[in-house]
Chain A
Amino acid sequence: MSGDLMSGLIATVLQVVLVIAGAPLLVGLMRQVRARMEGRAGAGVPQPWRDLRKLLRKEPTEPRDTGWPFRLAPLVLAGTALVVAAVVPLVSTASPLDSAADLFAVTALLALGSVALALGGLDTGTAFGGMGASREVTVLALVEPTILVSVFALSVRAGSTNLGAIVNVTEADPMRVLSPASLLAAVALAVVTIAETGRIPVDNPSTHLELTMIHEAMVLEYSGPDLALIEWASAARLTVLLGLLGSLFLPWGVATAGTGALAVLIGVAAFAVKTAALGVLLAVGEVFMAKLRLFRIPELLAGSFLLALLAVAASFFLAGGA
C-alpha cells in the first residue's frame, strides 16, 4: 500500500514539474509549427522560456488607481493553474490528490482563474480592459456548462464525477472511446478547449488589433513578473486541457493504481507525446482557419453545447448496448 502511495506521489510530482517546465515549450512548439507552415523560420521552441526569463527581470509597473484585484489576478490565475495541474489525472490515476480530481472542482478552479483575470482587467479602468473582461466572461459562461455536460456523458458509465475514475474505466475498456456518446463528447470538449485557451477561431493569441482581442485585451496593462505569471498560466491551462483531452479520449499509457515505477515513466512519456501531438494538430488547424467574427462565437459554442447534450442523451439511451 505504501509503495502504491509512493509511486502515486512521485507521479503527481513529476506531472506538476512536467507541466511547469513543459507548458511554455508546448506554446513554443505550436508557434514553431505555425511559422514553418507559413514559410517562416520561426524563433525556436525554447523562445517562450527566453521571454519568461526576460520578463521576470523587468520592472513591475502598476497603473494609477488600480487596487488589489489587479495585483492578485496573476497570482490567483497561476495558483489555480498549478492546482489543476496537480489534481488532473494526466500521468497517473493513482494520485494521492485523487479525491480532489473532481469534475466540478476542476471546472470551478479554471473558472476562478478566468474570473480573477477578468476582474484584474476591469480594475485597470481602461476601455480595452473592460471590453476584454466582458468578452472573456461571455465566452466563459458558454464554455463552463459545456465542459461539465460533456464530461457528464463520460461519467455516466463510470458512475462517478471523479476524473481519475473516468480515465480508469476508459482504460479498462478502450473500445468505449468509439461509442457515440464518447465521440460526441470528444468533439464538444475539443471546441470548448479551444475557446477556453483563446485559440483560433475564437481568439487569436498573436493579434495586435485591440478591437479583436479577448484574452490579450485584459492583460494589456500587466508588465514584468506579473505578465510572466499570466503567460505561464495561460500556457499551463492549455497544456492541462489538452492533456485532459488526451487522458479522457486516448487513455493509453496513463498509469493506474497498483502499477510500478515503469508505468509512471510510460505515463510521463505518453502524456508528453499525446499533448505535443494534440498541440501540433491544433497549430496546423489554426493555419487553415480565420478567426470567427465575435458575434458568431456564441453560435459555435452553442453548437458544441448541443453536441455535449446529445452525448449525455446517447450515454443514457445506449447504456445497455455499449
Chain B
Amino acid sequence: MSLWRKIRKTGRVAEPAPERPTGEAPPEAAELRGSVQFRHVDAGSCNGCEVEIGSAFGPVHDAERYGARLVASPRHADALLVTGPVTRNMEVPLRRTYEAVPQPRLVIAVGDCARDCGVFAGAYGVAGAVSDVVPVDAEVPGCPPEPEAIVAALRRLTGR
C-alpha cells in the first residue's frame, strides 16, 4: 500500500521530450523506422559512460519512449553501443559481437575514450579506438557524455 501511495505521489518523472535532434542519420537507420535494439559492449571503459547510459534509459530521460531498447544478445540487436578504449582483451570479443549482429547493423561509439582513446591513448593495454576495430556510424563526444547527448544520438537512429 505504501508503494501505491508512492506511485500516486510521484506521478511522472520523465521529462518532456526535447525537440527532435537535427543532424545526419546513417542511411541504414532509415530501414529500422522507429525501433532500434541496442547491445551495449564495454570494451574497456572506466564505467563513467555506463552510468550515463543507465541514466539515459532511466525514468527521467526514458530513451525507451523513442523506440530504443537495450537487449541481452547481439543477435537481437540492430546497433552496438560501444564504450571505452578497446583493450587488447576486448579486441576479438568486440569484433565477434559486431559479426554476430544481423544486417543492417550500426555502431555508436559513446564517450571520448571510444572515439580516440581519451586519457588512455598510448597505454600498453589499449589496442586502439573503436573505429580501429569495427566501422563506426555515429559518435557521442564527452567524458562522460551527458545523458541528453546519448539520447539525441539514439533518437537520430530511431528517427522519433
Q: Which residues of A contact B (CB under 8 A)?
A: 35-44, 47, 50-51, 53-54, 57-61, 207-210, 213, 216, 220-224, 227, 287-288
Contacts and interface: CB of A to CB of B under 8 A. Distances in A.
**Ranked 10 nearest A-B pairs via Cβ:** A39-B13, A223-B75, A50-B35, A220-B73, A41-B14, A41-B65, A59-B103, A59-B102, A223-B102, A54-B35
A224 B34 CA distance: 16
Interface stretch (B4-12, B86-94, B136-144): B4-12
12 contacts: A35-B65, A36-B12, A39-B13, A41-B65, A42-B62, A54-B34, A58-B103, A208-B71, A220-B73, A220-B76, A227-B75, A287-B7
B10 A39 contact: yes
A220 B62 contact: no
B47 to A, nearest CB: 16
Interface in B29-60: 31-37, 59
B73 to A, nearest CB: 4
B112 to A, nearest CB: 25
B3 A288 contact: yes
Nearest to B10: A39
B71 to A, nearest CB: 7
Contacts, number: 89
Contacts of A42: 62, 64-65
Give the bracket for the number of chain B residues in contact with chain A: 20 to 34
A220 B14 CA distance: 30
A209 B36 CA distance: 20
A36 B36 CA distance: 21
B12 A41 contact: yes
Given A40-B59, A50-B35, A54-B33, A61 B65 contact: no
Contacts of A40: 12-14, 59, 62, 64-65
Interface string B60-83: 001011110111110110100000
Contacts of A213: 72
A37 B10 CA distance: 10
Contacts of B33: 50, 53-54
Given A39-B11, A41-B65, A43-B69, 11 more contacts: A39-B7, A39-B59, A40-B59, A40-B64, A42-B62, A44-B65, A50-B35, A50-B67, A58-B78, A59-B104, A223-B75
B102 A39 contact: no
Contacts of B62: 35, 40-42
B72 A210 contact: yes
A50 B33 CA distance: 8
Nearest to A58: B102
Nearest to A36: B12
Contacts of B102: 58-61, 223-224
Contacts of B123: none
A38 B10 CA distance: 9
A36 B62 CA distance: 11
Nearest to A217: B72
Contacts of A227: 75-76
A37 B75 contact: no
Contacts of A222: 75-76
B14 A54 contact: no
Contacts of A207: 72
A59 B103 CA distance: 5
A143 B25 CA distance: 48
B104 to A, nearest CB: 7
B133 interface: no
Contact of A39 (B14, B67, B70): B14
Nearest to A209: B72
A297 B42 CA distance: 33
Contact of B34 (A50, A210, A221, A223): A50
B17 interface: yes
Nearest to A222: B75
B100 interface: yes
Contacts of A224: 102
Nearest to B74: A223
Nearest to A226: B75
A84 to B, nearest CB: 25
A220 B72 contact: yes
Contacts of B7: 37, 39, 287
A222 to B, nearest CB: 6
Contacts of B67: 43, 47, 50
B34 A41 contact: no
